[in-house]
Chains A and B, each alone.
Chain A
């Protein structure tokens, strides 16, 4: 790599002569090895999903979550350095609360993404800090309906119909491009999301993993309980919550089956498929 040995990559907030900030690029490298994480903006809500490799069987299954709730109507999934992701999530929660304090309203997703983008950017400005080693996928819904954003270590963020980051992002992206997320319902979406996680996992098959999946939905089964728990709290009716267990299990099962069938078909013309994947 040309950046090494020039001395311009040793400190944050330093430009190289050709206008790059190498420490930010290195922070992005930390994300590239993170777990595959995707977000889908469906017709009636948002889906966030993440592949969680099981590094030890001593770990408590279902514990150690990677997708969190920011506010009742917003969820966040991070990929990269886990502790950085936690810090970033905490900040998002503070922003959501502060918005409520100031405006007596739940934070619009676009505004939250903007705030978080600025927060990430601030960590590229000073040599006394390092950028976040995470990419965050922020999904939620407001008066304008479902919205999905992805925030990078540089502070750059874009709105998406389908977003992917982490190790399997290339494979995941090309799968998402085959879909039209806006025409999918959430129920269709969770099946696609599970399948995409399985497809993206293909490269390191031997490792076991579990899928963590959440959605932002308007008709949640737990919403009534959630609403009664919030006396006087302004809430737009959308809920970020875990995808019900039975639905997730069914989606995983179908995804697994689909992949296995694909593999069998593939056996004859492996080469062609490989080329496609590489692209």
Chain B
């Protein structure tokens, strides 16, 4: 790693006008496992990949429910996420107490963004080392926001954060136009497919390592962990690691060999291992 004089704290600009400490905090997100969020006209779904530190240890928390209509998925330092989500819960409760209504999604998101910005401007503070995907429903419908340690917030149709999340984003970019009209289950499946693309060659989605949360118009936030995830994984159909799926596809190709052009192109772009799961989409 290279050091320079301008990266000791978040109150020093570099000669180019950058704040390195904030940029490093953004890197912390990439150390965490991936989380994907996506929205339809009626629902928002969060799916996340859980890691376990050791064989006998439990899997980490990736999705934190905030309120009946609101939940977050995180990537990065989970203690920082807990601080932020506690704050969001306070905001949410205050809204219910004061105004007798669930807090608007944009309002809580803006509140944590303002909180995070202060940490980038004062000596002795550090930026939060966590990225969040905030899913919620309010009077204006379903919303998905991304929060970054810089205090930047952006509203998305579909977003992915964490390790190897670029692959998930690629999937979302290719498919997001169909999201608005899909059903609740299909939305989750799209999420799982995006999440699956972030996996390493020898890994697969299991009931242990997958976390799902859905919230919709007139439908409270529901979280699915452990055995409850099974029905979604079953719907996803294909199982096995990416290399196993690819191998299976190779034999299928030898017999049929009629994968359409788009998928060939996709396979070429994503490298040899990826061909399997993209072509597989046509078989489902």
Contact residues of A with B, CB < 8 Å?
1, 3-4, 9-12, 22-23, 26-33, 56-60, 63-64, 81-84, 86-87, 90, 123, 127-133
What are 5 of the A-B contact pairs (CB < 8 Å)?
A22-B15, A30-B13, A57-B173, A58-B173, A133-B17
Interface residues of B in 199-246 (CB under 8 A from A): none
**Which residues of B have CB within 8 Å of A30?**
13, 17-18
**Which residues of B have CB within 8 Å of A81?**
19, 150
Chain B, Cβ-Cβ closest to A127: B123
A58-B169 contact in complex given A86-B114, A86-B117, A128-B123, C-beta closer than 8 Å: yes
Most buried by B among A12, A57, A130: A130
Q: How far is the CA of A60 from the CA of B117 in the complex (A)?
A: 23
Partner of A59, one of B121, B122, B155: B155
Partner of A58, one of B110, B124, B152, B176: B176
Partner of A83, one of B5, B15, B117, B157: B117
**Which residues of A have CB within 8 Å of B14?**
26
**Which residues of A have CB within 8 Å of B18?**
30
Q: Is the interface of B mostly helix, strand, loop or mixed?
A: loop
Q: How far is the CA of A86 from the CA of B274 in the complex (A)?
A: 41
Chain B, Cβ-Cβ closest to A5: B5
A133-B13 contact in complex given A58-B173, A63-B155, A86-B151, C-beta closer than 8 Å: yes
Q: Is the interface of A mostly helix, strand, loop or mixed?
A: loop
B175 → chain A closest CB, angstroms: 10
Q: How far is the CA of A180 from the CA of B195 in the complex (A)?
A: 55
Contact check, A90 vs B114: say whether CB atoms are below 8 A apart. yes
Contact check, B13 vs A26: say whether CB atoms are below 8 A apart. yes
**Which residues of A have CB within 8 Å of B152?**
82-83
Contact residues of B with A, CB < 8 Å?
5-6, 10-19, 110, 113-114, 116-118, 120-124, 150-159, 169, 172-173, 176
**Which residues of B have CB within 8 Å of A26?**
13-17
Contact check, B11 vs A83: say whether CB atoms are below 8 A apart. no
Q: How far is the CA of A81 from the CA of B156 in the complex (A)?
A: 20
Q: How far is the CA of A60 from the CA of B37 in the complex (A)?
A: 14
Q: How far is the CA of A4 from the CA of B5 in the complex (A)?
A: 10
A27-B117 contact in complex given A58-B159, A64-B155, A129-B123, C-beta closer than 8 Å: no
Contact check, A130 vs B116: say whether CB atoms are below 8 A apart. no
Contact check, B121 vs A60: say whether CB atoms are below 8 A apart. no
Q: How far is the CA of A130 from the CA of B122 in the complex (A)?
A: 7
Contact check, B158 vs A23: say whether CB atoms are below 8 A apart. no
Chain A, Cβ-Cβ closest to B5: A10
**Which residues of A have CB within 8 Å of B15?**
1, 3-4, 9, 22, 26, 29
Partner of B117, one of A31, A33, A57, A84: A84
Partner of B121, one of A9, A10, A63, A87: A87
Q: How far is the CA of A122 from the CA of B201 in the complex (A)?
A: 53
Contact check, A60 vs B155: say whether CB atoms are below 8 A apart. yes
**Which residues of B have CB within 8 Å of A123?**
121
B213 → chain A closest CB, angstroms: 19
B193 → chain A closest CB, angstroms: 15
Q: Given known contacts A30-B17, A133-B17, what 17 new A-B pairs fall within 8 Å (CB)?
A: A9-B15, A11-B12, A26-B13, A26-B16, A58-B158, A60-B156, A63-B154, A83-B117, A83-B151, A84-B117, A84-B121, A86-B113, A87-B114, A127-B11, A129-B122, A130-B121, A132-B121
Chain B, Cβ-Cβ closest to A30: B17
Most buried by B among A9, A28, A123: A9
**Which residues of B have CB within 8 Å of A28?**
17
Partner of B157, one of A60, A87, A129: A60
**Which residues of A have CB within 8 Å of B150?**
81-83
Q: How far is the CA of A83 from the CA of B15 in the complex (A)?
A: 20
Contact check, A33 vs B17: say whether CB atoms are below 8 A apart. yes
**Which residues of A have CB within 8 Å of B13?**
23, 26-27, 29-30, 130-131, 133
A87-B118 contact in complex given A31-B17, A58-B158, C-beta closer than 8 Å: yes
Partner of B154, one of A64, A84, A86, A131: A64
Contact check, B116 vs A12: say whether CB atoms are below 8 A apart. no
**Which residues of B have CB within 8 Å of A9?**
15
Q: How far is the CA of A12 from the CA of B121 in the complex (A)?
A: 11
Q: How far is the CA of A27 from the CA of B12 in the complex (A)?
A: 9
**Which residues of B have CB within 8 Å of A1?**
15
Contact check, A128 vs B173: say whether CB atoms are below 8 A apart. no
Chain B, Cβ-Cβ closest to A4: B15
Q: How far is the CA of A23 from the CA of B19 in the complex (A)?
A: 11
A114 → chain B closest CB, angstroms: 22
B74 → chain A closest CB, angstroms: 19
B178 → chain A closest CB, angstroms: 13
Chain A, Cβ-Cβ closest to B11: A130
Contact check, A128 vs B124: say whether CB atoms are below 8 A apart. yes
Chain A, Cβ-Cβ closest to B144: A60
